[in-house]
Amino acid sequence: MLVQIPDVLTLQEVVYCRRVLEAAGWVDGKVTAGDQSAPAKHNLQVPQDSAAGRELSEIVLQALGRSPLFATAALPLKVFPPLFNRYDVGMTFHAHVDNAIRPVPGTGARIRTDVSSTLFLTPPEDYDGGELVIEDTYGAQRVKLPAGHMVLYPATSLHRVERVTRGSRWASFFWTQSMVKSDQQRRLLHEMDMSIIRLRADLGDAHPGVLGVTASYHNLLREWVEM
């Protein structure tokens, strides 16, 4: 399931993140790559343990907490602390699949990467290339969103970042361990929840049809959730 979420960050938050990133130290992006993806990865990252990385990670986590669409699409149990990368001219990330398990630095904890997320920090008109290309059941989906917007997609997906040919593409990226492991089940729950929202707006909360669909949603969630 591929879901685009608009305005995860406000304009003011995007501007602030950009200002902090402009002054940050950047390192080779291979520092967080696995054995399979490292040769394919050609970008820069802000060190996760840097002051800038920790501050901006917290800003993104707070923004996720106020996004109902992220909650219903990802059904998050654990969120990996957001990271930040950039692709300058000539940089790319060839086709790869994200690591299934990620250790959370400094905690001893690990998360299963069910959902991958990219939060764009650069307006699309400021760079050429740099599209996130995700292979799904409907073919290759090319994603290039406004600054502050985010895309979610299954971490099992083969995906890549096209070579940047002008400008620089900056983004935050992270993974979520969902309460519902199956992408197909998450898709069904998300579609059902979106239908419930529309039915509530049209019919009201007390309508028998709304009550019945809502009950089915929660009973399916209860059946499929892993805590």
Q: Is residue 218 part of an annotated ligand binding site?
A: no
Sign of CA dihedral 97, 33, 183, 134: negative
Count the Cβ atoms, other than its own, within 10 Å of residue 162: 18
Tokens for 108, please give them: 């001893």
Strand 27-28 and strand 101-103: the pairing is unpaired
183-197 in b/e form (b: 16+ CB < 10 A) is: bebbbbbbebbeebe
Q: Is residue 96 a known part of a binding site?
A: yes
Rounded-to-integer distance, Cα 27 and Cα 164, Å: 18
Residue by residue, DSSP assigns 153-176 as EETTS-EEEPPP-BS-EEEEEEEE
To the question of whether residue 94 is assigned a binding role by annotation, the answer is no
CA–CA gap between residue 146 and residue 121 (Å, rounded):
8
CA pair distance 4, 80, nearest whole angstrom: 19
Q: Is 66 annotated as a binding residue?
A: no
Q: Binding site membership: which residues?
A: 96, 98, 159, 169
Q: Binding site membership for Fe cation: which residues?
A: 96, 98, 159
Q: Binding site membership for 2-oxoglutarate: which residues?
A: 169
